[in-house]
Amino acid sequence: MNRIILRVSRLFLFGFVFFCCFGCVDQSQGENQTETDDKVEATLEENTESGSEETADEPVILATSVATMEICSKLGINLKGIPESSLADPPECYEGLPEIGTAMAPDMEKIAAMDPDWILSPVSLYADLQPQYEGIQTEYAFLNLSSVPGMYKSIEELGQIFGKEQEAEDLIEEFTVFYDGYQASNAGEESPSVLILMGFPGSYVAATPESYVGSLVQMAGGSNVYAGESKDYINVNTEDMLTKDPDIILRTAHALPEDVMEMFADEFENNDIWKQFTAVQEEKVYDLSSGNFGMSANFQYPDALEELKGIFYE
């Protein structure tokens, strides 16, 4: 199949947007990211020069998660396959397209039959999906959706690859304007210490700033009591959590939010150690909207940040 897309083999789309307006958000990319960016820039330049040799055949681009599909929609990328999801309807522009399985379990037989030029997935699933993509010898990109800045860095790089630079620039400008205003509205407020619990049916873990919900808390001005951890979620016992004595406890759900919130209510009611937390005594335990606080960065972040603003400062 002839390809017109600028090709950057096995590209990771990761890192943070490097705008000075981000304030509390980590803006460093590190040596590995710099090397990757240099390689991307060089490859883009090389392919641009040889672009006249490509044909005008439209590439087959697949998105395997709802979040990556929404990004493609915002950029105006013409997908040929979309993820299956019971939680969200596809954007109107993608209605009726073939479904290629769920984000965590894409249908590789169906994907291979479509002979894709590119597959776009969240980087959190790299370890599981990369070997499968290698097996069908296609180009792929894994987007960093662990934070809002990471998402916009991926948007910038997708714009370069697929010729959507202006669309990417417009989205980044929209975010910059919003976040400038958001930071200004919180200026001078005292930063609360925050414990974030991510619930699953029957269990829960603590979310660090490396997770999406953790990055939102950081952007809103909160101080995560488990800052400094390298993983996005960690298993911690309640005794250790008590030593942190957070000002605020936030609870959210990865899936089945009604069941998870019922689990949290039972846990906090029947496990006496929670009654020793200042946040519990002062009734500063909040259940977050599951639609705004998931596992991957998405365009609902303004609503999520406004929700946190109401909890932290109002």
User: What does the domain layout of the chain look like in residue ranges?
Assistant: 11-182, 190-313
13 pLDDT tier (thresholds 50, 70, 90): low
Task: Note whether 120 and 72 are within 8 A (CB).
Answer: yes
* Tens of pLDDT, residues 199-223: 988 899 999 999 999 999 999 999 9
The most confident of the ranges 22-36, 50-64, 157-171 is: 157-171
* N-term to C-term CA, the chain: 57
Residue 20 has pLDDT above 80, yes or no: no
* Tens of pLDDT, residues 143-169: 999 999 999 999 999 999 999 999 999
CA distances 16 to 20, 25, 43, 165, 212, Å, are 11, 9, 21, 17, 13
- Please give the mean pLDDT across all residues of the chain: 84
* Tens of pLDDT, residues 215-273: 999 999 999 999 999 999 999 999 999 999 999 999 999 878 889 999 999 999 999 99
Superfamily of domain 11-182: Nitrogenase molybdenum iron protein domain (3.40.50.1980)
* Tens of pLDDT, residues 102-132: 999 999 999 999 999 999 999 999 999 999 9
- Alpha carbons 63 and 83: distance in angstroms, whole number: 6
175 pLDDT tier (thresholds 50, 70, 90): very high
CA distances 69 to 188, 196, 249, Å, are 38, 27, 32
Superfamily of domain 190-313: Nitrogenase molybdenum iron protein domain (3.40.50.1980)
Tokens 């006249």 found at = 52
The first and second tokens of residue 171, run together, are: 């989205």
294 pLDDT tier (thresholds 50, 70, 90): confident
Alpha helix locations (H) across the chain? 30-49, 66-75, 108-113, 126-135, 148-161, 165-185, 212-219, 238-244, 257-270, 278-281, 301-313
Same fold, 11-182 and 190-313: yes
- Alpha carbons 295 and 230: distance in angstroms, whole number: 17
| Angle CA 148–255–129, to nearest 5 | 65
Task: Note whether 178 and 157 are within 8 A (CB).
Answer: no
Task: Note whether 66 and 183 are within 8 A (CB).
Answer: no
- Alpha carbons 147 and 306: distance in angstroms, whole number: 16
**Predicted local confidence at residue 314, as pLDDT:** 79
Residue 54 has pLDDT above 70, yes or no: no
Q: Among residues of the chain, what percentage have pLDDT more than 70?
A: 82
